[in-house]
Amino acid sequence: MAKQKKQPRPKAETPKGFRDYFGAEVTERQEMLRQIAEVYDRYGFDPLETSAVETVEALGKFLPDVDRPNAGVFAFQEDGGSDDGTWLALRYDMTAPLARVAAQFRNDLPNPYRRYTMGPVWRNEKPGPGRFRQFYQCDADTVGAASVAADAEICAMLADTLEAVGIPRGDYIVRVNNRKVLNGVLEVAGLSGDDQEHERGIVLRAIDKLDKFGPDGVRLLLGEGRMDESGDFTKGAGLSEAQADTIMGFMDAKRDSGAETVARLRELVQGSDVGAKGVEELETIAELLAAQGYGPDRIVIDPSVVRGLGYYTGPVYEAELTFEITDEKGRPRQFGSVAGGGRYDDLVKRFTGQEVPATGVSIGVDRLLAALRAKGRIHGTRQGPVIVTVMDRDRMADYQAMASDLRAAGIRAEVYLGNPKNFGNQLKYADKRESPVAVIQGSDEKDRGVVQLKDLILGAKLAQDATLEEWKSQPAQTEVSRADLVQEVRAMMERHG
């Protein structure tokens, strides 16, 4: 006989940078997305689910994020590598597919087109701690509305959304700024030349780091550069004192009321048309929001918000959670940003040649979930099922009927389906499932028309506090009539709320 080559066993591993989600991780995210969709829907946004795969041509090969020019996509050729196969790629965000859809279906879609979408996106990046190559985004965008009323609406919707998922008012703030104001400030500072794009990039990134480095750090980045704690040096924009003063003045322009901030910004951009236009837009946004009752306790004009992405052209906005959490090193810090977005007017133009105004927000689903966990709004656990144990494997039909009765009454329930020989294993299983109640019926109980109910929640409490002897006497176990199974199980579950 020919020798058979033994194939090595494949490794059972989630690919590097990817992860699996179990149980409550799945349902809690689902529930949060459902709540968000409800708010988006009420604002007239329509759901859209694009394919996960786009042509590389439509997608553009790289992320439009100036901070990470090398960040890539997962790309592959259509029919396994023949030369004429189309190159396809997994979407890296929800905005690029929206631009494609808005161009492709422009004759059929309502105009303006408000849409929301939620789902995974993929990044071919080096994975790191807490940094995954597949993660959820949840976006809402308005395409085709030039009016900043569209931006204001999204800011209001974002505030409503945070409250709907369980972030109380006072624990979040939506900050609004306008790229045009920033452009005006750059113009006033003498930084609007075509040959100064490099400096402008550094300034933008420096402002974006205000939270992280503080005003002094940003000031260093605007000037010669900044050395971090590890000794690494980041080269700065090389601005003059006067130029840096102008920029710092902009970042510091926030006042107690929106009207005062707007007045201060107007001073700062004096002489710049684009700056004046930006200030006017911010003023309109502030007025629209005030008229709907969104005061500065929820939405504020804040010049320190710039948002990293290079494609923003007008208003930008960011939602921050303001309550404190304890970081990895045990220090208290603010939770920080969970959503952001802004106006981008050039993305659809790539396809059609026509400028289409658009504005939208993206919620960082995993960060918002983490925030809800930090607030104790969700707990990462869920009620396990009632376990009907198997004492006599020939009476499986009886046990299934019990589970069936419980389910018919809306109670999550299952029969133990492993090898029933070792009863201890059945209880260990119930424990692992976080089961509230185990149902037990041996032949003796069967003859007497009763079942034993074991209160596993009480049992667990006793196990913590009670002696072995007390535990063995099984005080958490009671005998009830088979006919009363459903109501007795329900009563036992309700006892623990």
Q: Which of residues 167-196 bind its own copies (CB under 8 A)?
A: none
* Of 44, 170, 193, 449, the one binding its own copies by CB under 8 A: 44
Q: Is the peptide bond before 332 cis (omega within 30 degrees of 0)?
A: no
Provide the token pair at 283: 């003023």
Judged by beta carbon, residue 241 or residue 287, the one nearer its own copies is 287
* Of 3, 432, 447, 497, the one binding its own copies by CB under 8 A: 432
CA 212/CA 218 separation, integer angstroms: 9
* Of 25, 65, 346, 366, the one binding its own copies by CB under 8 A: 25
Binding window for its own copies (CB under 8 A); candidates: 80-88, 167-175, 296-304, 480-488 = 80-88
Burial class, 144, CB count within 10 angstroms (exposed 0-12 / middle 13-18 / buried 19+): middle
* Of 3, 5, 6, 11, the one binding its own copies by CB under 8 A: 11
The residue among 27, 132, 16 whose CA lies nearest residue 364 is: 132
Q: How many CB atoms lie within 10 A of CB 194?
A: 5
| Residue 6 sits in the site that holds its own copies (CB under 8 A) | no
CB 71 within 8 A of CB 131: no
| Residue 482 sits in the site that holds its own copies (CB under 8 A) | no
* Of 67, 68, 104, 495, the one binding its own copies by CB under 8 A: 104
Question: Which 334-393 positions form the footprint of its own copies (CB under 8 A)?
Answer: 350-353, 385, 393
Min. distance of Cβ 479 from its own copies in angstroms? 23
Binding window for its own copies (CB under 8 A); candidates: 187-195, 336-344, 409-417, 477-485 = 409-417
Burial class, 360, CB count within 10 angstroms (exposed 0-12 / middle 13-18 / buried 19+): buried
| Residue 112 sits in the site that holds its own copies (CB under 8 A) | yes
CB 93 within 8 A of CB 73: no
CA 397/CA 441 separation, integer angstroms: 12
* Of 65, 71, 72, 375, the one binding its own copies by CB under 8 A: 72
The residue among 419, 457, 451, 409 whose CA lies nearest residue 435 is: 457
Q: What is the dihedral of CA 228, 236, 213, 219, to 10 degrees?
A: 130
Report which secondary-structure segment, H or E, holds 439: strand 437-440
Provide the token pair at 155: 């800011």
Binding window for its own copies (CB under 8 A); candidates: 77-85, 249-257, 273-281, 465-473 = 77-85
Largest CA distance in the chain: 95
| Residue 429 sits in the site that holds its own copies (CB under 8 A) | yes
Query: Is beta strand 299-301 parallel, antiparallel or unpaired with respect to 172-178?
Result: parallel
Dihedral angle sign, alpha carbons of residues 126, 127, 132, 134: positive
Task: Name beta bridge partners: 438.
Answer: 387, 454
The residue among 381, 385, 388, 379 whose CA lies nearest residue 493 is: 385
* Of 58, 167, 176, 269, the one binding its own copies by CB under 8 A: 58
* Of 92, 93, 94, 100, the one binding its own copies by CB under 8 A: 100
| Residue 413 sits in the site that holds its own copies (CB under 8 A) | yes
Min. distance of Cβ 277 from its own copies in angstroms? 17
Min. distance of Cβ 156 from its own copies in angstroms? 8
User: What 3-state DSSP class applies to 437?
Assistant: strand
Min. distance of Cβ 296 from its own copies in angstroms? 16
| Residue 418 sits in the site that holds its own copies (CB under 8 A) | yes
Min. distance of Cβ 388 from its own copies in angstroms? 10
| Residue 41 sits in the site that holds its own copies (CB under 8 A) | yes
Binding window for its own copies (CB under 8 A); candidates: 253-261, 401-409, 441-449, 480-488 = 401-409
Judged by beta carbon, residue 396 or residue 483, the one nearer its own copies is 396
Question: Which 268-307 positions form the footprint of its own copies (CB under 8 A)?
Answer: 284, 287-288, 290-293
- Alpha helix (H) residue ranges in 122-196: 149-165, 179-188
Binding window for its own copies (CB under 8 A); candidates: 99-107, 164-172, 184-192, 248-256 = 99-107
* Of 374, 398, 423, 466, the one binding its own copies by CB under 8 A: 398
Min. distance of Cβ 228 from its own copies in angstroms? 27
Min. distance of Cβ 290 from its own copies in angstroms? 8
Edge-to-edge strand order for the sheet containing 113-122?
113-122, 134-143, 358-364, 332-343, 315-326, 172-178, 299-301
Binding window for its own copies (CB under 8 A); candidates: 114-122, 222-230, 306-314, 436-444 = 114-122
Kindly determine how many residues on this chain lie close enough to bind its own copies according to the rule CB under 8 A: 102
Question: Which 130-159 positions form the footprint of its own copies (CB under 8 A)?
Answer: 133-134, 142, 144-147, 149-150, 152-153, 156
CB 213 within 8 A of CB 228: no
| Residue 74 sits in the site that holds its own copies (CB under 8 A) | yes
Binding window for its own copies (CB under 8 A); candidates: 37-45, 244-252, 266-274, 447-455 = 37-45
| Residue 21 sits in the site that holds its own copies (CB under 8 A) | yes
What angle do the packed helices 179-188 and 258-268 form, to 10 degrees? 40
| Residue 75 sits in the site that holds its own copies (CB under 8 A) | yes
Contacts of 44 (CB under 8 A, 6+ apart): 114
